[in-house]
Amino acid sequence: MARYPVPQFIEQEGKIIFFLTYRQFFVLVGGGAVCIVMYFILPVIVFLVVGAIVMGLAGIIAFAKINNSSVVTIFMHFIGFSMQSKTYAWKKQESLNPVKIQRTPEGGAMQPSRLQQVQKIVETKK
């Protein structure tokens, strides 16, 4: 009936090199470029430590997904949530009748509360 085929998997990114998508490839290339610049600027020991951290972060950014969302997307949502104003649906208000603390009489047992009296009435059906 349709004259033209409709693509079925349009949300899937295209692969360019082996299993890498465009985004993954360029994130890894960017991490590699930062490491090359650091190689010429930093001493060897510092370069090895910082280079491992940079490539680890690039790998996490390129490949890690949390609930089918990239790490960059989740980080941007975190920043947006942290910066925007919050609307609270419930706010504690001061009561017009504050709670009164009842002290037990020095002479003996505590008086039953109104709730305990109602419970007794309901249980005994009086």
| 118 occurs within a structural domain | no
Pick 115 or 53 by higher pLDDT.
Answer: 53
Q: Does some domain include residue 48?
A: yes
Segment 34-57 shows an average pLDDT of 95
In a domain, 62, yes or no: yes
Q: Is residue 89 part of a domain?
A: no
Residue 101 lies in a domain: no
- Give Cα 96 to chain centroid, integer Å: 38
The chain-wide mean pLDDT, for the chain, equals 84
pLDDT-above-90 percentage for the chain: 41
CB 13 within 8 A of CB 22: yes
Question: Between these two residues, 84 and 126, which has the higher pLDDT value?
Answer: 84
Q: State mean pLDDT over 89-100.
A: 71
Instruction: Look at residue 44 and tell me if it is in a domain.
Output: yes
Distances (CA, A) of 60 to 14, 24, 39, 42: 19, 10, 21, 23
What's the pTM value of the predicted model, to 2 decimals? 0.56
* Residue 109 covered by a domain: no
Q: Which domain holds residue 64?
A: 12-74
Q: Is residue 53 part of a domain?
A: yes
Look at residue 108 and tell me whether its pLDDT is greater than 70.
no
In what helix (H) or strand (E) does residue 16 lie, and over which residues does it extend? strand 15-17
- Residue 73's pLDDT is 92
What are the two backbone dihedrals, phi and then psi, of residue 16, each rounded to the nearest 5 degrees? Answer: -110, -45
CA distance 75 to 63: 15
Total domain count, the chain: 1
Distance, in Å, from the CA atom of 34 to the CA atom of 102, rounded to the nearest integer, reads 70
Inform me whether the pLDDT recorded for 107 exceeds 60: no
